[in-house]
Structure 1
């Protein structure tokens, strides 16, 4: 499921705290995004259609909660990035980042630790 940048803003609100009403979501992000209530409701409807969120009726309003977890979203997005830009390979991604901005000693240490853990798992 493809989540747009605008839809991801809504999802971030719901991942932090759910369930939320459209009005509560608007109060949290409306001024930052320059969105009106109609925009938030349209984005919520798109997310409902994609089954990324669910809605429960409470009186005259709906309470929205995520169906898609943040971990599932990050996994989908990172796989898509790797596939689109780096032919599904991690090494060229890391090389790209190392060329574009200098990796810190902490970054390098974390990468080494991860590689050692992966190597241990395969033996």
Structure 2
């Protein structure tokens, strides 16, 4: 599997095997343990069926996957889409950065935006939208 550039963001939330499992479930949902283990094996990674099952059960307990009985087995589906999960992780990282570094973090974002006129204009648009909406989210 070729991870996209935002996989490093998702690695903040998941371990390496958890991320491989989640990538499979996001693509194939609903899916079962055997199908996920088969995909992981085809991608050249060694993960036993029992290991994949344990990871999927743990992800279900953590609230990342929904597990439903289908005959004698369970099928799993993600609670959130890949995009929603990536946004959740990114929001958490930014919140943490702002909580820890406040004004310094904000000034860094503005300095970064100054390097790209399109980004700076987008930042201005976002500020105007927030002012128009009253800033309440």
TM-score scaled by length of structure 2: 0.60
Change (3 A) 1:3 1:109: same
Q: Aligned pairs, how many?
A: 121
**Where does residue 51 of structure 1 map in the other structure?**
63
Is the 1:25–1:40 contact (alpha carbons within 8 Å) kept by the matching residues of 2?
yes
Structure 2, gaps ≥5 residues long: 1-11
Q: CA 1:26–1:91 in 2, change beyond 3 Å: closer, same or farther?
A: farther
Q: 1:40 and 2:65 equivalent? A: no
Match of 2:14 among 4, 23, 27: 4
CA distance in 2, matches of 1:40, 1:90: 43
Instruction: Report the CA distance between 1:50 and its aligned residue.
Output: 1.3
**Do structure 1's residue 95 and structure 2's residue 108 form an aligned pair?**
yes
Q: Point out where structure 1 has 5 or more consecutive residues left out of the alignment.
A: none
SS at match of 2:77: strand
- 1:82 paired to 2:116: no
Note the aligned Cα RMSD (angstroms).
3.7
Residues 36-67 of structure 1, C-alpha deviations (whole Å, 9 max, x = no match): 13442222111111122122222343210122
Change (3 A) 1:102 1:113: closer
User: Cα distance, 1:74 vs. partner?
Assistant: 4.1
